[in-house]
Structure 1
Amino acid sequence: MSFADTPSLLARLAELEQSNRHLRQQLDACAAPREGAATLASERYQFLFNAMDEGFCVIEFIDGPHGPLSDYVHVEANPAYTAHAGIPDVVGQKLRDMVGDEAQAWLDRYGHVLRTGEAIRFEQELVATGRYLDVTAFRIEPASRRQVAVLFQDITPRKRAEAALRQLNETLEERVQAALAANRILANVVDGAAALIQVLDFDFRWLAINGSGADVFEQEIGVRPRIGDSFSESLRQRPELRDGILAHWRRAFAGETFSEIISLGEGPGRRHYELQFSPLHDAEGRSIGAYQFAYDVTERLEEQQRIQVMEEALRQSQKMEAVGQLTGGIAHDFNNLLTGVLGSLEMLDLRLRQGRLQDLDRYTGTARSAAQRAAALTHRLLAFSRRQTLDPQPVALERLVIGLEDLIQRSIGPQIALEREADPQLWLTHIDASQLENALLNLCLNARDAMPDGGRIRIVLGNECLDEAQAEHQALPPGDFVRLSVGDTGSGMSDEVLARVFDPFFTTKPLGQGTGLGLSMVHGFVLQSGGEIRIDSAPGAGTWVHLYLPRHGLAPVISPPVHPEPEPNLPGQGETILVVDDEPTIRTLLVDAMTAQGYRVLEAADAVTALALLPPDHHLDLLVTDVGLPGALNGRQLADALRGLQPQLPVLFITGYAEANVIGAGDLEAGMRVLTKPFTLDTLERRIQLLLDER
């Protein structure tokens, strides 16, 4: 109940007074000795007694242990008594039994009414039930009856509201002072904050700006901001800033929260500010403008730039270190191989000049062996750098592993057990089978070297369907992969070794027992094939190498096509072959070798010359061309041009590594093959014969 209810309450109390007087008259009438009137008065009294909203009771004073009239008993109580006082069934109960220690206060008030006959009205808390009562009491005549009538209402809500209001009034001033002090502190903090704070309404007028913001604005723009001034007008002298800044504020007015970085000034004094814009709303949530926090981030950006320069310098240093390690390893191995080649050639020259023709095959064999080892080293480097020419096909991986088991077992020795496990529903993979065989053999040899006292190698084949989270962990796109895992029970690798395991020429093996290109070659081959490699290892816990290879949906290649290969050095049948290569030594070697085999050979150093050699009606049996040719056309374009004249013309591309992607190995048409440099003349002859036979 609030103070606004006071007038109506007073009016209600006036009605109660009138009702009391009425009730007293009725009670007096009940006491009259007239029988007919007494019956009517009794009925009226009983009706009022039960129907009235206010609590009503009649109490009768009695003598007690505390003296005469020291207690009273409830003679009558209407139904509303319980609702207002909170005590049920009071008729017949003594006051001191009901309320204990607070009984004397009620006895004093009602005793005064009994003794004097004066009606009273008062408010008092009934502690027993925690209720405040508004009470009116008057004596029932004659006084000898020792009875008092009590009429009351529960006013607990009003009393509590009054108490709360008094407490509010008592603390209001204190809280107002505290709020003002807090606001002053907050204003001082905001005004002196490092952040530049501005608040604008929709007309671009300042609603607020802190001291730091005003100082910087004046310093940068030349105008001192004041509340109510136009922000847009203050920027009129800086048109290069005005349009962009106002566009940012319009975005904030539209309800957007965002950040932007702007730069002010020129030269060494140039400053950079991060502007954070937010919409401004009033207490009812209506948009009334926007505010901005600006931070000077010049030092932070400059530090970030310094860090980027240092990181770039560190990366460059690491690159140079890697290049140095790579070139050092290449130089070491190639110098050894070239020494064997040059020494053998010099011995051949010496024996020929001396006329001593015995043992010449020993020197030619040594030179050939060194050259072949140099070619193998080049292929490993190309695999590491992902530049080798691949011939991917759909491959049944378990069949490939089964075909290699005998070779692997012979290579690792009888002291190491070889185990194989495969998913019965293993998918096909799209891979260069010969390169994968080399990679698998390399992994098994590495596992063997990690188990000098014997152990176990497990080859596990399975399907992997990677979702986005798994693919991100494996550095792969989501999708289906075939996993080839090779595990051993060897010594394992430390974290330091794992961090460098793919570095070229890095090896933990003794000098002369490894080139350090094995794993880097496997790594490069798998990445070039569209897969990924992961190694799990710990000292003393063995090593697992997992290759994730792309799945393929086509039918597997059961075995490579079988073509009857002629014996080497068999003469040709006079077929016409066009040889195109810009390197004279290679072109001469090719022409001499093919001529010796009985072919008719045309030669050219570039595509334009080659096309000029051939009249429109000239027939070719085979084109042998380098991919990287000088001039407007490369080898692939030359082949396409000649196939426009002769659609079924067989083509043999000769390539190193840089031009491999020009060929488009995945798009080679029927009758096109690739031969990677370096190659032997025997390999060249077999490849020529194969293409002519396919024709």
Structure 2
Amino acid sequence: MSFVTSAFHDGGGMGARMRAYDWSTTALGLPERWPPALLTLVRVMLNSRQPMFIAWGADRTLIYNDTYAPMLGERHPAALGKPFFETWPEIQGEVGALMDRVYAGDPVHMDDLELTLHRNGYPEEAHFAFSYTPVPGDDGNIVGLFCACTETTRQVLTDRKAASERKRQRALLQQMPGFVAVLREPSHVFEYVNDAYVTVAGERDYIGRNVREVFPELAGQGFYELLDRVYATGEPYVARALPIRLVGEDHDRHLDFIYQPIRNEAGAVIGIFVGGYEVTDQIRSQAALAESESRYRTLFESIDVGFCVIELRFDEAGRAVDYRIVEANPAFERQTGANVVGRWVSDFAPNLERRWFDTYGRVAITGEPAHVEDRADVFGRWFDVRALRIGDPAEHRVAVLFTDISERKRMEDALQVLNATLALQVSERTAERDQLWTLSEDMLARANYEGMMSGVSPAWTRVLGWTEAELLSRSYATFMHPDDMGPSLAALARMSATRRATRFENRIATLDGGWKPIEWTVAPEPDGANFIAVGRDLTLTKAREAELATAQEALRQAQKMEAVGQLTGGVAHDFNNLLTVIKSSTDLLKRPNLPEERRQRYIGAISDTVDRAAKLTGQLLAFARRQALKPEVFDAGQSVATISDMVGTLSGSRIKVVTDLPDEPCFINADPSQFDTALVNMAVNARDAMDGEGTLTITVHPVPVIPPIRSHPAVRGDFVAVCIEDTGAGIAPDQIEHIFEPFFTTKDVGQGTGLGLSQVFGFAKQSGGEVRVQSTVGEGTMFVLYLPRVEASAHSPQAEPEPLVDGHGMCVLVVEDNADVGTFATQTLAELGYVTVWTTNADEALAELAKDADRFDVVFTDVVMPGMNGIDLAHRIRQDHHDLPVLLASGYSHVLAQNGTFGFELLHKPYSVEQLSRLLRKVATWQRRKRIMGR
């Protein structure tokens, strides 16, 4: 395939059309003569999912891809190879000038260009976002332009429609007969007021200012506090005839109004709707009412107010016959006794009186609001109702604001017979109270703040055993457990100071000498000297909680054992595979007359298998957070930039790797090699999830908090977030909890060990960070690695020395308890020209040093040994022989994993001859420099 034909390869439908097109009839001529720049752009365009086109040459010949074709409408496919403005003559005026700028060398980008197109046989409004990029020829002159564009017509028209809807809603509010305002934010900033609101409150500078700025005269009248409470609790507030004193007025006005919280889609309160009526004239006309009416006015005003929106249905004669509850607040359910949102009234109240349909139907048809007080027999209640039409009149929707006034009506009737029945009512109420006091399973009491109880219910004796006389003759504090007395009395004092009910727990003595856990609810009485207490026995509840905790602990232990079984099984499987290779290679090496080429092959197989085993062990230790890391201060962004080329090679040519790195350095203190390994492990996981094709995005940025992850709360601080996001298949929800477990993998057998993500998890935890995963099946997965951010360090890591070939007779004290490893170490050092003394534990090593420490140039010691470990031995040598360097060797040590190497050089097991010689040369160089300085 030639370069020319490959430019049209895999280009979809347009690629096929371009291969079949007779280009000799166009100004471009045969593709074999096209310049390389044009062929490259064609290849990029045809293989992109972004709508793109190329305009080339003086006549601006048009070439485009599949996703641009729908923008042409009926002009596709005839537009291919034609001059641009022969295809688009109607936009030459708007677009021609822009293209002229591009051909003059000036790139052009526009987020919204409105055009009138005739692409489907009729004029239509269209909007586009695009970038025109000039393309220079070999001589530097512009020979064409490259365009990447997006048609935004639908979005523009959608936004326009939304703006129109907001305007319509404001118009509806303006038409409402009552005053209306919309407040936003916790400070209650005015977003909207209608004319009726201005009529009531006067001409003021409302919009953009908060309530306290607009109405300073309301300080002390309680309105600020009501608004704050509605915003904080999300509970609406309804007031009837509430007095208000405005600036410059010498008398109170009275308002009926509602403060209704406004919530966003997530349910959070973002503002308050204010609506109501001025009822000053009505209040003044009722000033002559009898004193008895004022006694129950407070009760009437404190009753919850219901609110709903209904949608009416009319018959052919224009008479309302049914209505559906479109919206309703919680008070609606409380006052009607039913949750009926979305249902028709004929379903849940088929016997509702005809007059209610006539009233609401008249409001919906005429738009005139209604205010009635009437009884709904189907609910068995009286209601005070205000109704007004809302929305499009054709929708027949009515807003209903109602209050249950059944109690008021009952009181009005009761007042007429009160004198005749007062004694009977008092007797009945007293009997009800005595029955509650006697039969309640909760412990009821009346007490004062001086420590004595004046009344206790029989439940006290049933629960605790004490008699009423014993309880009333002693201070209630004497019955409390000594450890609980302080917190209990503090709760009572807090209740007395705030005049609010409070709840607490303590232990109360029983007659038989035991203690029972009691939950108390205490509330002050109006007299200020006494309070009421209600106590509930928690003995059974506590026992059940303990049983539940025991069961949960047993479940956790079972899960832990299952995880250990999975881990050991996975380790055994992988190490058996590795040992098989080593065993087979050693058996073959024993065969006589083995050719050199095959001998080298088997030796290489053994070496490679040992490296894989060491890597497997390292991943296990990283997951277990037992690996001794070598942290350095480095820029995470620079490290990601360096390794991104490797990630691109690993992912393949069909995966696009995008990096987004911060302008400022993001320094972290971590093991660079483990950091790179974690990035590669996450990148390989993303590659496999995308099946070799997609976009892999790597971003680095500083963050002030680690969000809540799994069962851990959010952590605030200074962190660096490294994010790797793919467009792959995603992870099923039931697998998310298991992806960091060792040996857990969704890949086929032989395609992965299941340790890659467990290494990421262990590295993050051991480095003081965290790892988070988000995934949507079918859309992709995002891993975020959080690591603590640190200040830049002036220290630069030293380059590793070359391996030491000749030890020149330097003396090494070897401390190794394993006979095989000790034999190997001494033989290896002898091969390198060192003199060795081998001891099997720390005590023997200290004895050798006590004989003559000056004969040794370096101590080479294992970390994990019986008795004194290598870390303690190294500290002892540093204390007693501070000029004698120590080289540690370890395959695993929890001390190293938790505390680091304490400044000693560390050689990881299994180690090679080259690694051993390199570190020996490093410490030997230090020893040689010490001796030279000491002369």
Please confirm whether the aligned pair reaches a TM-score higher than 0.5, indicating the same fold.
Answer: yes
Determine the structure 2 residue equivalent to 1:514.
752
For the residues of structure 2 that align with 1:382 and 1:266, how far apart are their CA atoms?
A: 57
Residue 463 of structure 1 contacts residue 483 of structure 1 at CA under 8 Å; is this kept in 2? yes
Residue 802 of structure 2 corresponds to 565
Which residue identity does 1:501 align to in structure 2? I
User: 1:578 aligned to 813, 816, 838, which one?
Assistant: 813
Which residue in the other structure is 1:314 paired with?
A: 555
Q: Distance in 2 between matches of 1:254 and 1:388?
A: 55
Give the alignment's TM-score, normalised by structure 1. Answer: 0.67
Please tell me the residue identity of whatever aligns with 2:841.
Answer: D
Contact 1:265 1:271 in 2 (8 A): no
CA deviation after TM superposition for structure 1 residue 619, in Å: 4.3
1:263–1:327 CA distance, 2 compared to 1 (3 A): farther
**Separation of aligned partners in 2, 1:246 and 1:418:** 65
One-letter amino acid of the counterpart of residue 788, structure 2 = P
Q: Structure 2: how far apart are the matches of 1:377 and 1:448?
A: 21
- CA offsets 1:444-500 (integer angstroms, 9 cap, x no match): 211221222522212111111228x77999855311111111122222222122222
Equivalent in the alignment of 1:330: 571
Aligned to 2:890: 655
> 2:854 matched to which residue of 1?
618
Answer whether contact 1:205 1:227 (CA < 8 A) is retained. Answer: no
Which of 836, 843, 846 aligns to 1:601? It is 836
Question: After alignment, is 191-200 or 272-281 more displaced?
Answer: 272-281
Label 1:255 to 1:459 Cα distance change in 2 as closer, same or farther (>3 A).
closer
Instruction: Give the one of 743, 757, 775 matched to 1:537.
Output: 775
- The one-character-per-residue Cα deviations of 1:640-664 (angstroms, maximum 9, x if unpaired) are 2222343233221112223443783
> Within 5 A, what are the aligned runs for 1:419-568?
419-466=658-705, 475=713, 477-555=715-793, 560-566=797-803
CA distance in 1: counterparts of 2:426 and 2:551, whole angstroms: 51
- Is 1:366 the counterpart of 2:609 in the alignment? no
Is the Cα–Cα contact under 8 Å of residues 628 and 659 in structure 1 kept in the other structure? Answer: no
**Aligned pair partner of 1:665 in 900, 905, 915:** 900
- Are 2:655 and 1:416 equivalent residues in the alignment? yes
Distance in structure 2 (CA, Å) of the matches to 1:414 and 1:433: 27
Q: Distance in 2 between matches of 1:649 and 1:361?
A: 39
CA-CA distance at 1:517 after TM superposition: 1.0
Alpha-carbon shift at residue 163 of structure 1 (Å): 11
- Look up the equivalent residue of 1:531 and give its one-letter code: G
Matched letter for residue 442 of structure 1: N
Shift of 1:684: 1.1
1:187 to 424, 434, 449: 434
Change (3 A) 1:660 1:676: farther
Within 5 Å, give how 1:246-325 maps onto structure 2: 258-262=504-508, 272-276=516-520, 278=522, 283-286=526-529, 288=530, 292-325=533-566
Q: Distance in 2 between matches of 1:232 and 1:555?
A: 66
Q: By how many angstroms is 1:195 displaced?
A: 0.5
How much is the aligned-residue C-alpha RMSD, in angstroms? 3.7
How far is the alpha carbon of 1:361 from its aligned partner? 2.8
Please report how far the alpha carbon of residue 373 of structure 1 lies from its aligned counterpart in structure 2 after TM superposition: 1.6
User: Which residue is equivalent to 2:350?
Assistant: none
Cα deviation digits, residues 491-523 of structure 1 (max 9, x gap) = 222212222211211111111101111111111
C-alpha distance in 2 between matches for 1:390 and 1:228: 66
Equivalent residues in 2 for 1:59-208, closer than 5 Å: 171-172=418-419, 174-175=421-422, 177-200=424-447, 206-208=453-455
Query: What is the deviation of 1:212?
Result: 2.2
> Which of 613-622 and 540-549 deviates more?
613-622
The partner residue of 1:401 within 634, 640, 651 is: 640
C-alpha spacing 1:333/1:184, structure 2 compared with 1 (3 Å): same
Encode CA deviations 1:124-150: one digit per residue, 9 max, x unaligned. Answer: xxxxxx99xxxxxxxxxxxxxxxxxxx
Please say which structure displays the higher CA radius of gyration: 1
Q: Which has the higher helix share?
A: 1
Distance 1:597 1:292, change over 3 A: same
Stretches of structure 2 that go unaligned for 5 or more consecutive residues are 1-283, 296-413, 496-501, 928-935
Task: Judge conservation of contact 1:394–1:428 (CA < 8 Å) in 2.
Answer: yes
Q: Could you list the per-position Cα deviations for residues 581-637 of structure 1 after superposition, in whole angstroms to 9, with x for gaps in the alignment?
A: 222221221111112211121222222211111236624321111122322x33222
In 1, Cα distance between the equivalents of 2:482 and 2:517?
17
For 2:711 and 2:293, the matched residues in 1 are separated by 67
Which is bigger in relative contact order (C-alpha 8 A, separation at least 6)? Answer: 1
Q: 1:234 to 1:552 in 2, by over 3 A?
A: closer
Percent identity over the alignment? 31
Q: Which residue of 2 aligns with 1:5?
A: none
Cα drift, residue 381 of structure 1: 0.7
Q: One-letter code of the match for 1:536?
A: Q
SS in 2 for 1:500: coil
Confirm whether residue 347 of structure 1 aligns to residue 588 of structure 2.
Answer: yes
- Cα deviation per residue 1:11-51 (whole Å; 9 max; x = unaligned)? xxxxxxxxxxxxxxxxxxxxxxxxxxxxxxxxxxxxxxxxx
In structure 2, do the counterparts of structure 1 residues 248 and 571 end up closer, same or farther at CA, with 3 Å as the change threshold? Answer: closer
Counterpart AA for 1:607? A
8 Å Cα contact 2:453-2:475 kept in structure 1: no
Q: 1:88 maps to what in 2?
A: none
Q: How does 1:219-230 map to 2 (within 5 A)?
A: 220-221=465-466, 224-226=467-469, 230=473
**Structure-1 residue corresponding to 2:924:** 692
Looking at structure 1, the residues matched to 449 and 702 of structure 2 have their Cα atoms a distance apart, in angstroms, of 62
Code of the residue aligned with 1:424 in structure 2: it is D
Contact 1:384 1:524 in 2 (8 A): yes
Aligned position for 1:681: 913
- How high is the TM-score relative to the length of structure 2? 0.50
Q: 1:298 to 1:605 in 2, by over 3 A?
A: same
Residues 297/250 of structure 1: CA separation in 2 closer, same or farther (3 Å cut): closer
- Equivalenced residues, count: 517
Match of 1:17 in 2: none
What is the CA–CA distance in structure 2 between the aligned matches of 1:191 and 1:578, rounded to whole Å?
88
Say if 2:460 is the partner of 1:213. Answer: yes
